[in-house]
Structure formats: C-alpha cells, structure tokens
Amino acid sequence: MKIGVPIRELSVEVKNRALIITYPRLFKVVSSAALNGGLTQARSIINCQVSKNYDHENPEQHLERMAKKLKVTSPVIGLLTAVDVRNFSISVSHALKRSLITIATAGITNATRLGEQVSTDSTGTINLIVLYEGDMTDGCMVNAVQTIAESKCAVLRELDIRTKKTGELATGTSTDTIVLCCLGEGEKLQYAGSATEIGNELGGTVQDSIRDSLRKQEKLVSGRSIATRLEERGIRINDILEASLELFTPHPGIKNRRDARRILIKELLKALDDINICCLILAGMRLEEEGNLGLCPQMDAEKFRGDPVYLLADEMIGRQIADYIGGARASFEFERFDREKPGILRKLGPVMDDIIAGIAAGISSKMYSTRLEEISH
C-alpha cells in the first residue's frame, strides 16, 4: 500500500508487515532505533511488525535480515513494534516553508512511567518517525527530539493513559522509539523548542498522529465510557457488583444473590451512563490523584493517604453519588458500605473507596426501594 506524501521522491508504503520509508539520497537521522540508532545518515527506515510475544535475542540482527528481505536501500534505520502497522497514522504540517511529516504506530498495552519496573517487550510500543524536508543543526535536532518527547507525554496526559501496573499516569511505553530525519533542503534551523514555529508544528503533528493511531489500534478515544476509565484504574464492573453483593441481605422480593445480581447490574450500568454520576466520579479521580501527589493545600501526600478524620470531601462526594442514584434512603446504605468496606473498597485509596461505596450503596438502595414499590402495587 503506497502512501501519498508531500515530499517529492520520498516513498512511504506498507507491505509484508512493515512500514517502509525510502529516499534516493542520504539524509541525516537522530534516533533511538534498535538498528543503526544515534546520529547517523540513512536512505531507508523500516518499522517492522512482530508478534506480541516477540523475544529475539538479537533484535539488531533480526532487523538486518528483515531489511535484506524487504530489499530496502542501505543504510537502514530499523524499528520493531507489535502494533499492526496498517494502523499507522500520518500527520502533515502545511504551515512551514518545508514539509513536515509525522508517522506514528501507537499502542499502549505496555504503558508505563519512569520508576516502574516493567517488561521491555515490544508490545504496545509508540514509534514516531518525523521527516522534515528542510535541515537542522545537530543541536537543533536534539532540541526537536525533546519537543517530540514532550508532545508525546502531553497527548498521553490529555487522553488520561494509565500504566498497567499501578494505574498511574503513563509517560509512554517501555520501548518507545523516536526517529527524526532531516532531508537537507535550505538553511539549517538552529532551534526547535516550543517557542519556535517548527517546534509548534512538530508538537501538533506528533499529537495528531498518536491520537489517530491509538484510535485505530486500541479503539481509544477521549470520550470513552466511565466504566472503561474505572477499569484502567483497576476497578472493574464486577468488582463493584461483588462489593454490593457482599453486604446483600434477603429482602421482600429479592431472596437470593442471583436475583440481586440481575437487578444490581441493571442499576449499575444505568448509573454509570448518567452524565452527573460520571462527573462526580471524575472529580473523585482527580482529587485522589492530586492528594497522592501532595497537591492538596494544608495536607501532604502522607497525611492524605492516611485518610484523616478531618478530610470530609471524599465522603461528601460518595454520599452525593449514593443519594443521586438511590434517593434519601441511600445515605443509610452509604454509612454501611463506608463502615464495612466490602470487597475492592478495602484496597482503594481515601477518595476512591468512598466513590465506589457511593455507587454500591446507591444501586443497592435503588434495588431494595424499587422492589418494595413493585410489591406494594
């Protein structure tokens, strides 16, 4: 599959499970690529798709063999990814004198952040290939790589991408690669930071390409459901149901857990589809994040995690969620769930335990109240 680009003589195509970029003349490259990384010159770039359980003892040698198989012109810059390369995204800037293109293949199944101990497999890698028709000094190219990395982090924050291990905000994956190419037309740029025109355009193309590739590869969009956002933090729908059922007591019209589960799942899905519940949950998520970072005024992170008795905002949000779902009676249910902390509530932080307690209490109260009304009629 040939891909149209606005740079004359530049060829971009996808074939044989590889994204292949070629140019008839040598161009300058700085990259963290597995094959021929560093500051060098090249004529070709290959981004090769591998299996999700890829574990080759010598990735560089493997890429050299792939380059020969693909019959690309040397020197070659080689990258690896478990992302389907057909889910690439290309973003072009039209604001500069020289064309600027960013091509991304992006997946986040291996999302992480600095400081976490994670695997270094190729699953979920964010690979970015930036091609600038003009030229840059070596220092400018380093400056541009900095801008690219900052732009990647910004879009992950914007999309609220979470690490798989801790649920913290991700800064990337453990195997991300950046490739920046200058084809050499015109005078050399000196700077490419956020205050420059090239830096601004770099940021835009990088973010646009990552967003679009994640949409294709991960079906990930900014407006995804609150159930998905909770699951990204390790809280599944089934966890909320089990917490609700742990405090279940037989009631007129609801004599067993099977009947209770059937009603609870219906009420839970309805609650999580309500915009006001979603907003209250999001407020709780943000408060927990701020508290854990020590950003709450008059309270450092250690005090916050200790859930001090004078911190009432968490219970206020939880109680409001319960009341909104289940009415005034839900306040009594909330007290019960907040005291007993069934199921996953025992593992959650000082805000999220009250958020989930509020949801569980609300749907439980709604279940009991609805059945009583049905029986009375």
Q: Please state, as a whole number, how many other Cβ atoms lie within 10 Å of the Cβ of residue 200.
A: 16
Question: pLDDT tens for residues 332-343?
Answer: 999 999 999 999
Beta strand pairing call for 18-31 and 38-49: antiparallel
Q: Rounded to an integer, what distance in angstroms lies between the CA atom of residue 370 and that of residue 376?
A: 10
Cβ within 8 Å of residue 353, ≥6 positions away: 314, 338, 341, 345, 346
Distance of alpha carbon 119 from alpha carbon 247, whole angstroms: 39
| 334 CB-side CA count, 13 A | 25
Please name the fold of domain 226-376.
YutG-like (1.10.3760)
* pLDDT at residue 61 in the model: 94
Q: What is the pLDDT of residue 122?
A: 47
pTM for the full predicted model? 0.90
**Secondary element (H or E) of residue 64:** helix 59-70
The token pair that represents 9 in the structure block: 């003589």
d(CA 296, CA 61): 51
* Closest among 367, 345, 371, 346 to 356, alpha carbons compared: 345
C-alpha of 70 from chain center: 32
Cα 278 to Cα 272: distance, rounded to the nearest angstrom = 6
**Cβ atoms of 6 and 96 closer than 8 Å:** no
For residues 55 and 305, give the distance between their C-alpha atoms in angstroms, rounded to a whole number: 39
Question: Which parts of the chain have pLDDT scores under 50?
Answer: 122
Written as one string, the DSSP assignment of 101-152 is EEEEEE--TTEE-TT------STT-EEEEEEESSEE-HHHHHHHHHHHHHHH
Answer whether CATH 3.60.70.12 is correct for domain 2-218.
yes
Could you state, in order of their start, the residue ranges of all structural domains in the chain?
2-218, 226-376
- Cα separation of 289 and 287, whole Å? 5
